[in-house]
Structure 1
Amino acid sequence: MDSSPHKLYHVHGFDSRQYLEQYFSDKSDMAFGDDLLTFFIENLIQVFAVGHIKGDILIDLSFGSFVHHLYSACEFFKDIIVLKVNNRCIMELKRWVDERTGAFYWGHTSALLQDIAGKAHDQCQDQEAKLRSAIQHVVKYDLEKENMTEPLVLPPADCVISAWLLGSISKDQDDYIRHLRKFSSLLKPGCHLILIGSLGTTYFTVGKDKFHAFAYDEDFVRKALVGEGFIIDYCKVKERTAVSDLNDYKAVIFIAAHKEK
């Protein structure tokens, strides 16, 4: 039995819409725009622009139900398979993909992408439509199963993106490495992993609920990747600028690596 006073994201579930409103909305008082939106869109544009990370299949294993981290990816992959651990996140994401009434508004992030890329805002709808078309499957997974998506067997991916997930599902260093190894198993040899996360986080809050986060630093995640057979190609760390007590992260990190053949 876990002795932590905080809830576990993948065990207890959470209000996925409330999470988006608190951390990713277009509201004027949203504190995390620079850290959780701009920084990662900038870095994703940069690593994809080099041209090494591309292929047929990208698997997204990320926290919650946000989509802004996939705008750039859909330019370089034919199909995107999104894995989610709970039904509420699946429903929230599918509501946006299917353009249903009440879907979360992501227009501010597609506009931000166009600003950073130096393009006109009239391409925003095209960008969102392209991403919707690329998301071929949204699949529930179970971390405790050897094949997380049983009974489905996923094709090996050319790239895996995991944003803010490893820190929320891992209780300690060994747990983090075990999950990293499982994520790595989804990749073809020689292909790429993009990790997005927060450093030094011990909790995050969604609504009235406080959730566990495993606090790690840059040195740990670098060593974990190397230990699992990855070569790090790109790494950027940004010190926290957000002023909020919703969570206690110290910095945000973006890492792109490839798996040795």
Structure 2
Amino acid sequence: MDSTTHKFYHVHGMDSRSYLDLYFSNNEDMVFAEDTLKFPMSMIHYQLCTGRTEGTFLIDISLGSIIHHLYFVSKFFKKIVLLKFQEKCIMELNRWLHDRTGAYDWSHTSSAAAELEGMRDQLQEQEMRLRSSIKQILKCDYEQENVTSPVLLPLADCVIGASILEMISKNEDEYMKNLEKTIKLLKPGGQLLLFAVLDATYWFVGAERFHCFKCNEEFVKNAFGKLGLVIDYYTVKRRCNVSDLADYKAILFIVGRKGE
């Protein structure tokens, strides 16, 4: 199928609850746990525990309404702002943030986070700490000069992007423009922590097939260099599940530091 027949996440939107159930749930038939749950959580935990990433203000720009990769962030950053392209994702996040009826159950990930920290008896503390650290959930638009217009955010010490640039970029030029927009959110010396799905062309939510810009490890690393990011760390996790829901081959975690 040609990419023009795929839907674009940031343009057409998606069923945010179905996305969570398919790729991030605790359901027995959810095959992506190693890639979408354990890998991002362990990488963020590792990066923060090394002391190489620090500050007070962090911006997260991730696909859908996920929060599980931010448990450890809330231990180190006092202020977290989430940027979302879709109102449905903002609504989903607000239900969880304010502990409303019908909020998505992330207890399986708070339990995993507590175990990684060696604090199995403090499961509720994981979510409470994260909720208190999230100060704003804003809609963003990468077509605008100020992507959070009319809100003007201060520059961040750190930006996390999880599986987002490939989903909103049609081609190499758009990817570079979107990466540049992301980097502009960082203060000099700040870090971008990016998770990228590699060699993917599509992903499904229900019967809807969404576009994914096909990129590889070298392309992402070269893009960082062209835009002035010094790579501090990177690692690639090869796909370990079998599913027709998405055709990615691996996940890249890469950390780049903006020049002073």
Tell me if both proteins adopt one fold, taking TM over 0.5 as the criterion. Answer: yes
* Equivalent position amino acid for 2:117 in 1: A
Q: Which residue of 2 aligns with 1:11?
A: 11
Aligned positions of 1:1-261 closer than 5 A = 4-120=4-120, 122-261=121-260
TM-score normalised to structure 2 length? 0.97
The C-alpha deviation readout for 1:116-170, integer Å capped at 9, x for no partner, is: 33332x2111010000000000001111111111111001100000001001000
Structure 1 residue runs of 5 or longer lacking an equivalent are: none
* Equivalent position amino acid for 1:153 in 2: L
- Structure 1 runs of 4+ aligned residues shifted over 4 Å read none
Structure 2 residue runs of 5 or longer lacking an equivalent are: none
* Equivalent position amino acid for 1:217 in 2: N
| Shift, 1:62, TM fit | 0.8
The C-alpha deviation readout for 1:1-30, integer Å capped at 9, x for no partner, is: x97110000000110000000000001110
Percent identity over the alignment?
49
| Corresponding residue SS for 2:40 | helix
Aligned length: 259
| Shift, 1:215, TM fit | 0.7
The C-alpha deviation readout for 1:159-196, integer Å capped at 9, x for no partner, is: 00000100100011111110000000000001110001
Cα distance in 2 for residues equivalent to 1:124 and 1:256: 28
1:3 and 1:214, CA in 2 relative to 1: closer, same or farther beyond 3 A?
closer
The C-alpha deviation readout for 1:15-61, integer Å capped at 9, x for no partner, is: 00000000000011100000111111111111000112121210011
1:242 and 1:147, CA in 2 relative to 1: closer, same or farther beyond 3 A?
same
TM-score normalised to structure 1 length? 0.97
Cα distance in 1 for residues equivalent to 2:253 and 2:119: 24
The C-alpha deviation readout for 1:67-99, integer Å capped at 9, x for no partner, is: 011111111111000011110000001110000
| Corresponding residue SS for 1:4 | helix
